[in-house]
Amino acid sequence: MFNFTTIIANIPALLIGFAFHEYAHAWVADRLGDPTPRSQGRLTMNPFVHLDIFGTLMAVLYSFGWAKPVQTQPHYFKGNKERGRILVSIAGPLSNLVVAFLAMFLWIITLAFLGDSSWSNTISQLFRAVVVLNLGLGVFNMLPIPPLDGFSILRGVVPRKYSNVLNTLETYGMFILVIILFTNFLGAFLRPVVSGLYAFYRDTAIFLLSPFIG
């Protein structure tokens, strides 16, 4: 059963998460010398440029999803090309994990100042959506399944002799992804991971802020 209030709170959280995720990919690729993201208008924090319809729907409903991939051309990358692929791929999920922690940090500070304000519940719903959805985006996109970022990272570290296996996996990647999305895998694996990170972020933020907002 979907909670309408949660879905509404997920929308701004989703826009924030996708904007940071795709901008991070584009920014790292641009810094490595690839002009492609900039020429295609992807070097922007405008989330609407990055939206993928199906990935957006999944994110709004389930807090796990993806945006339209930033296209890169690794032959432009300075230095080691495979290292460049990995850096570009990991930048997106890492940005979501950072955003989630910053949102948790700001959430605790905001509630400390609001006290028992009537706005506390609404503020908490919005902040919680940003934290959970960004954690979901970060963890989900690290799965080694094409077309997710985790697969690009896997391709960058696996020896070339296994490239045929990876190419085959890439061919059926979307099929595998759809099966995973509509089975209990999300609940059995991803949600416990996100819950664990959520608790870790909360406890860490409280520990760091306790001298100031006790």
In the chain, what are the domain boundaries? 4-213
Q: What is the pLDDT along the chain (214 residues), one digit of tens a residue?
A: 556 777 788 889 989 999 999 999 999 999 999 999 999 999 999 999 998 888 888 777 776 677 888 999 999 999 999 999 999 999 999 999 999 999 999 999 999 888 777 788 889 999 999 999 999 899 989 988 888 899 989 988 888 887 888 888 888 877 887 787 777 776 788 889 999 999 999 999 999 999 988 6
Instruction: Give this prediction's pTM.
Output: 0.90
**Measured between alpha carbons, how far is 197 from 99 in angstroms, rounded to an integer?**
13
* Residue found by looking up tokens 């993806």 in the block: 66
Which residue among the candidates 13, 19, 20, 22 is catalytic per the annotation? 22
Residue 170 annotated as catalytic: no
Q: Which residues contact 170 (CB under 8 A, 6 or more apart)?
A: 146, 151
